[in-house]
Structure 1
């Protein structure tokens, strides 16, 4: 990260928030769209007109299934001076990059899926009695400077704070109800089906919920064109709760904490009747989740934030490790590294965002919902 993370804090109706978002981050949004147009062409063979056509289809789906979020995205595009179809295409970047069977393996995953290791720890296992989520977000280094912290305060009093790519509505984040989410890319043979809600709109719909129950409803009920893993938690005075949802087009599986711990990487762990495309590629996902859980369990009965972040700095199998670094043996288009580490304290409604591989030792920035 060569520049400080921009914070975009907006309020009002969906239209007002979208207009303010687009105006405050026009430069970042335009640059991020340009970066993805180049990547769609290079990695998936999609020209601009095809991207516009695909974006229009995702816009129709979003308008039908998530109208408030569609109104926000439309206003964002207008304020940023971009065709709305391009904004929807960027919010569906996972579908466009990995969801087309012509891109290679079943599900279109043309390389090892290199996006994230997630951790959840219940309050019964933390030193301060708080429920926490954390993750490494592994993605192409070209996208390092296209990120921001989006804070929205809507007219109903609902507050969301999410790390996101400019023009998108969410990545990892939390809300004023003490609910948070981390995300992992998955791939299966059902990916590419038409009619799904864009990957990052579905992710944002989780943060629109004021309870864990509604978060799971929003995620499971939405039609999907791409597989996605959501690690969701919510704090509560009587004890927090965490659940992991593995979502494929037309299927859903779930995992619960064991001894207060829950971890996930980039492959399916529930017995869903789908073909997991990780089987075509292998790679670090096959051990990252298990290794993270083992290290958490060995760190003690009451884990401190430093214990959890220490696991995310692990270098076993470097450079393709929990703390991921660029592997020069990968094709340039397939390179990945940890561009952000996210730590969410759901009881405190706070987040710590650490740029770059966490082993570098940067403090990052902290934000608390007020």
Structure 2
């Protein structure tokens, strides 16, 4: 269900935080505005770091400081913003960087039981489905992206929509876990990003004393700091990595804009191009990059979600009439319920392993609009926010 964009925030399921200035100023203002949410999010993840990765507070802070040095080396503007977040929120810098490296710390640390990287993506059945449609195949002529973000349901109350306008004039609007800088989002240059977690046999933090790679969520923000699709691609590729990640990248422009899907694994990358105007992805590797895909060890809905998403969108794409409603219907699909594109909690899962679609996001890269529905999206409307408001 799609609601109108009336220019207000009342219809949005998450708070909107708007900041502007240099990266440091944006980060500081964000930290001040979201202080209570950041504290709540840190509590959630410090508990997960302890239980799932065996990391106490001292270890978390030390890991965060190491990730800070890597971020500063490869993405200094993102580092400046995160330093500002820590100051504004009144928390330690190491804790903020650990929060932004939560994927690496939860899935890449070594515990007494062995490497946490062996834990499968989002429990034992994957999570997150993304889709993009070139403007040549939409009813409006606009390039559309969207995704369901599947994660633990406890995360729902610690989220923000973060809108930043920097000293260069670039505006970024992104869904983010409080204290982080981006997840799914778009910017005023018409660049958009959607994301899936992946897993491979190369994932895991270094144990030989070498510095860690660029955190998963830092890559997302770095891509959204770029004013071209090529720039976003380069930013995502910069530096080493410890976790596998899939980015669906797009930019509005002539001839329907452009889309590319980028599968990043430690030490390698693969990519996919649109077929018949469409790109979709779930949580397994599709580009043929030469690693062992750990989703093969567990199976699950990822193996059909991407193909099903393409098939559900294909009739409208062939008619060149895909609409936002088509994407909303896709993200509400219940095939293989509860392990569906529209993911619902499976009560049979252990509490720590539970996952559902926490939020669903739609992006119109030509009109610079973001739509968001609380999850599971089958029962909620999408509210819209324009980048220019």
TM-score with structure 1 setting the length: 0.96
Counterpart of 2:163 in structure 1 is: 151
Tell me whether 337-346 or 52-61 shows the greater mean CA deviation.
Answer: 52-61
The answer to whether structure 1 residue 59 and structure 2 residue 76 are counterparts is no
The answer to whether structure 1 residue 187 and structure 2 residue 187 are counterparts is no
Counterpart of 1:325 in structure 2 is: 344
1:121 to 127, 133, 151: 133
SS in 1 for 2:385: strand
Task: Specify whether residues 173 and 347 from structure 1 end up closer, same or farther in structure 2 by C-alpha distance, changes over 3 A only.
Answer: same
Once residues 109 and 116 of structure 2 are traced to their aligned partners in structure 1, the CA distance between those partners, rounded to angstroms, is 9
Task: Specify whether residues 164 and 113 from structure 1 end up closer, same or farther in structure 2 by C-alpha distance, changes over 3 A only.
Answer: farther
Task: Specify whether residues 21 and 40 from structure 1 end up closer, same or farther in structure 2 by C-alpha distance, changes over 3 A only.
Answer: same
Once residues 198 and 110 of structure 2 are traced to their aligned partners in structure 1, the CA distance between those partners, rounded to angstroms, is 15
Task: Specify whether residues 255 and 95 from structure 1 end up closer, same or farther in structure 2 by C-alpha distance, changes over 3 A only.
Answer: same
Segments of structure 1 that go 5 or more residues without pairing to the other structure are none
Q: Matches of residues 273-288 of structure 1 in structure 2 within 5 Å? A: 273-288=290-305
Cα drift, residue 105 of structure 1: 7.1
Tell me whether 239-248 or 43-52 shows the greater mean CA deviation.
Answer: 43-52
Contact 2:127 2:302 in 1 (8 A): no
Counterpart of 1:252 in structure 2 is: 269
Contact 1:313 1:323 in 2 (8 A): yes
Contact 1:234 1:242 in 2 (8 A): yes
Cα drift, residue 270 of structure 1: 1.3
1:168 to 158, 173, 180: 180
SS in 2 for 1:174: strand
Counterpart of 1:367 in structure 2 is: 386
Cα drift, residue 368 of structure 1: 3.0
Q: Matches of residues 260-279 of structure 1 in structure 2 within 5 Å? A: 260-279=277-296
2:145 to 133, 149, 160: 133
Report which structure shows greater RCO (CA 8 Å, sep ≥6): 2
Counterpart of 1:108 in structure 2 is: 118
SS in 2 for 1:287: helix
Once residues 330 and 196 of structure 1 are traced to their aligned partners in structure 2, the CA distance between those partners, rounded to angstroms, is 32
Cα drift, residue 45 of structure 1: 2.1
Cα drift, residue 264 of structure 1: 0.2
Once residues 90 and 249 of structure 1 are traced to their aligned partners in structure 2, the CA distance between those partners, rounded to angstroms, is 20
Cα drift, residue 113 of structure 1: 5.6
SS in 2 for 1:342: strand
CA deviations 1:208-234 (Å, max 9, x no partner) are: 100011111111123111110000000
Contact 1:58 1:198 in 2 (8 A): yes
Segments of structure 2 that go 5 or more residues without pairing to the other structure are 1-11, 207-211
Q: Matches of residues 37-76 of structure 1 in structure 2 within 5 Å? A: 37-76=46-85
Contact 1:323 1:338 in 2 (8 A): yes
Moved over 4 A (4+): 101-106
Corresponding pairs, count: 369
Contact 1:44 1:97 in 2 (8 A): yes
Counterpart of 1:350 in structure 2 is: 369
Counterpart of 1:230 in structure 2 is: 247
